[in-house]
Amino acid sequence: MKVVVQRVSKASVSIANEKVASIANGLLILLGIVDEDTFEDIQWLTRKVANLRIFEDENGIMNRSLIDVDGDAIVVSQFTLHASTKKGNRPSYIKAAKPDVAIPLYEQFITELEAQLGKKIHTGQFGADMQVELINDGPVTIIMDSKNLE
């Protein structure tokens, strides 16, 4: 399971020109799922995301987590995070989990992150053609993969 976490001053998701989610200060989380992902991957990543100290404290040091700043989050499914570009110029998405595997894990990720944060998480719509707008604050962008626990 892979995430791209972006600290944002605002972000939104639209589908067919209709805004379905928006936040101010918080995190935009792009989530990619593979067949091998498990509940343990979800637990590790949601704990890391909720406690990642990438928000500034009173001294301007990145020392606060999403929990500490009471920030919001948007989770967007993104199968392209598992693209393979080794051969040719057309990415292969063979590693990305199919919807029957990915949807339950995506929903479980959201539920676990809500439990970590103690609040509702905003989302896009799994499988939809979404337009994601954001102002990356910093910019701060962190990539984490539950298969690389380093």
Known catalytic residues are 80
Q: How far apart are CA 39 and CA 131, in angstroms?
A: 28
Q: What are phi and psi of 124, to 5 degrees?
A: -85, -150
State the CB neighbour count (10 A cutoff) for residue 139: 10
Q: Which of 91, 64, 70 minimizes the C-alpha distance to 80?
A: 91
Q: How far apart are CA 63 and CA 56, in angstroms?
A: 6
Q: How far apart are CA 54 and CA 65, in angstroms?
A: 6
Residue 126 Cα to chain centre, angstroms: 13
